[in-house]
Amino acid sequence: MKKVIVWFRKDLRLHDNPALWEAAQQGAIIPLFIWSEQEELDYATSETARWWLHHSLMGLERELESHGLNLIVRMGSNLEQLMLICEQTKADAVYFNERHEPSIISRDRIIAGKLLSCVSEVQSFSSNLLFTPEKMLNQKNEPYKVFTSFWKKSMRESVNYPLPIPPSIIPYNEALPSLQVEELGLLPNIPWYDKFHTYWEPGEKGAISRWQQFADEGLVHYAKESDIPSADAVSSLSAHLVWGDISVRSIWHAAKRLRDGKSDEYRQSSIDAFLRQLVWREFAYHQLIHFPTILNEPLREKFKEFPWLNHEEELEKWQKGLTGYPLVDAGMRELWETGVIHNRVRMVVASFLVKHLLVTWLEGSKWFQQTLVDFDPANNAIGWQWVAGTGIDASPYFRVFNPTLQSQKFDSDGLYIRRWIPELAELPVPYIHEPWKAPEHILTEAKIVLGETYPLPIVEHSIARKRALEAYGEIKNS
């Protein structure tokens, strides 16, 4: 009987796990996870991502134990630990699911080649994406640079059906040295993240429960309500997808089944809007694969010369939700409290940073990396480059979100603002969207002293917009 090491990475689940499925057909399974800060620089510097990983690993450990398997946890060089466990177990094969970060792709090639000196078989499988990158090319055999074209192509492509949990799993029964998950040191020294338990249940069990709830209650209203930050109309699955608590293929096919089973055009369009978000995630990864510099360089060359101001004091006020613009501040406070920020508001706060304050998108990207539980290199980079106008398929730079109009349109009753900015809770509409216009008696009744209990705007919108367009004009005409 073969002994197969299943190397878990960003696939911390039992369902639709091709490496686990194939290993279960071959023989005894040795489940392994390795943490290396030196090789996981994107995630090692993200305390929120590490918090999620810690708890997702705990969940994986429990799920494996329910099938009689013990997760072997190691720390250090991936190659060294893999070679060591191969020697300790006399394993025949190593199976793992592919990752798509540029540095990881090149590292995995080296590891796979080295492993063949101690095992007879090394196999990798696709599980993190819907479509094979090599197949998603345009008629010129080039990567898509426009999302709409990529979306249309995706609607013509088939997605592999998800695999079930293997019905029979044979464990490797000999004892092996293993760390406890706690010994990886994933959790920060200061437990500021304890509040996250109020909002999240990392792991496969929590992911499946969240999907079922969304499919039953929120999916059919997604198109109409997903832009309303006070509505519970989004899936909240993004963090689960980062670490593979749930399979994107399983979500895709479950949503498609719901779509095809509904004759109601409203419900079909709503599910299509959700599928479009899954394809946006896909597009982000395909962009990262084909244009790896997207993580830290503008893809539009002219933006390398953009005259950013980068005032540290204004950056800090943006980070703390003290800009004086209620929707922006509510979003940034939601981020600090929960580890996520509503997608519509995410665009508004990002636009405010790069266009109102002229702070480089790289600073915003770094802050999101440190504070988002759903931080993902591809999604984070493409989102910031889209808002900043620096990417291939991006929002035009001259599109400057007016945070007040966005607030009035998408949080018309101020419910979202009241939740995250309690000092404005008693301010009535329309002043909750622009407190600086409220008459003195209204402010007094609401117990607000502008500049003291809540800040005045750090920049005036029309002035900021004019300044941003002038800066854009400098590089456009250079």
> Where are the extended beta strands (E) located within 114-209?
121-125, 170-171
Residue 261 has pLDDT above 90, yes or no: no
Please give the single-letter amino acid code of residue 468: A
Tell which wins on pLDDT, 97 or 264: 97
Query: What gap in Å lies between CA 351 and CA 3, rounded to an integer?
Result: 52
Share of the chain above pLDDT 70, in %: 99
159: its two tokens: 């997605």
Question: Residue 140 has what DSSP assignment?
Answer: T
Q: What pLDDT, on a 0 to 100 scale, did the predictor assign at position 267? A: 81
Burial of 396 (0-12, 13-18, 19+ CB in 10 A): exposed
Q: What is the pLDDT of residue 188?
A: 85
Average pLDDT over residues 233-242: 96
Q: Hey, what domains does the chain have and what are their CATH numbers? A: 2-127 (3.40.50.620), 129-159+204-290 (1.25.40.80), 301-476 (1.10.579.10)
Give the mean pLDDT of 394-410: 91
Question: Of 129, 168, 167, 435, whose CA–CA distance to 289 is shortest?
Answer: 129
Q: CB–CB of 24/169 below 8 Å?
A: yes
Residue-level pLDDT at 399: 87
Q: Is the dihedral of CA 353, 355, 357, 363 positive or negative?
A: positive
Task: State percent of the chain over pLDDT 90.
Answer: 88
Tell me the pLDDT tens digit for each residue of 345-400: 999 999 999 999 999 999 999 999 999 999 999 999 999 999 999 987 777 878 89
CB atoms within 10 A of CB 423: 15
Section 10-15 average pLDDT: 98
| Mean local confidence (pLDDT), 137-150 | 92
Span of 258-272, 361-375, 440-454 with lowest mean pLDDT: 258-272
* pLDDT value of residue 475: 87
pLDDT of the residue at 357: 98
Mean residue pLDDT of the chain comes to: 95
Distances (CA, A) of 397 to 303, 362, 392, 400: 10, 16, 12, 7
Asked if pLDDT for residue 478 goes beyond 70, the answer is no
pLDDT tens-place string over residues 334-345:
999 999 999 999
Q: What is the mean pLDDT of residues 199-216?
A: 97
- Residue 307: the pLDDT is 95
